[in-house]
Copies of this chain bind each other. A is one copy, B any other.
């Protein structure tokens, strides 16, 4: 099966910029601090209504209708509800499996956050902190969550697989993105000692996770591991007979390409996609089936400003008007979609990031350009080539 999917990000793992109303009246920048600034009742009311409305059965019907066959669902480490004040979300995940079965979609469960954070991103759950790999009890907790997910969902017909952990950050990207100045920690004391995850640690952790997941996960379900932003570092990894049906996940964003020196024009982006994404995936596909688990049409050129690797209006960086005509924008996005889809074609498929956002580009024009993160808006406006079923 060639995977054509969307990420259901911001449903069970929050990102403030995608859904500002959830964070209204607080200064919290991430999921970790949200409950510290709201009463228990209000926090729970917000989360419950959000979860009940953001993704529902009708989204699965829609996703199927636009020719997709898969969804990647980010889940938090507190998915099982054992880390108060956070609310577990297996009920929501259970429902999603039933919806997927009805509409003929498959699910990749993606463990998107871990205690202490694996990357220091806001979407890692706690901005500016990256200490998970240094905390043996957090690592063990993570392995247990992976076992439990494998046990609970391993035999669901609509399970495609489980991804061990999303975007553990390694040294190069840690420096490139200048994590500690970009994501200021709320509590510098807690952030002290934050550091990138080593490839050495990751290799050991992935092998351990694979073994513990496979106890429950049938062989035909895939185990997915993220490349840690080092796509080519895995050629000698898991070569042994023991490892079956393992998929390599890489996340390729044009904003990262920009940070690596790619120019801000349609031609530059397309050349970069061809020379790097396409070539690199083809190269790694010799070792693992490769999936591009996150990508989008987002780029600085369409925003009309240098977004410095995706710095958003949340960070005070914003365009003031739409610089491209609707036709020009459509032409640009279509070309970037086609080039990238061709690159993913060297592997076994992709998941667009993200299926849905709640940004309002009309009443808050600073968000113009950021709407390309929203698959629904891309499909509706012909930015993404969709085959209606």
Contacts and interface: CB of A to CB of B under 8 A. Distances in A.
Interface of A: 19, 21-22, 24, 39, 41-42, 45-46, 48-50, 52-54, 56-58, 61-62, 64-65, 94-95, 98-99, 101-102, 356-363, 371, 374, 376-377, 379-382, 388-389
A302 to B, nearest CB: 16
Given A42-B45, A376-B62, A360 B21 contact: no
30 contacts: A19-B53, A21-B49, A21-B53, A39-B41, A41-B41, A41-B42, A41-B45, A42-B42, A42-B45, A45-B46, A45-B49, A49-B50, A52-B358, A53-B358, A57-B359, A57-B360, A58-B356, A61-B376, A61-B377, A61-B381, A65-B380, A94-B363, A95-B363, A98-B362, A98-B363, A99-B360, A99-B362, A101-B362, A382-B389, A388-B388
B360 A61 contact: no
Nearest to A24: B48
Q: How many copies does the complex hold?
A: 2
A21 B46 CA distance: 11
Contacts of A58: 356-358, 374, 376-377, 380
A97 to B, nearest CB: 10
A380 B99 contact: no
Contacts of A99: 360, 362
A362 B101 CA distance: 9
A379 B53 contact: no
Most B CB contacts (10 A, CB to CB) among A95, A356, A362 go to A362
A7 to B, nearest CB: 15
Given A46-B49, A99-B360, A101-B362, 5 more contacts: A49-B53, A56-B358, A56-B360, A57-B371, A61-B380
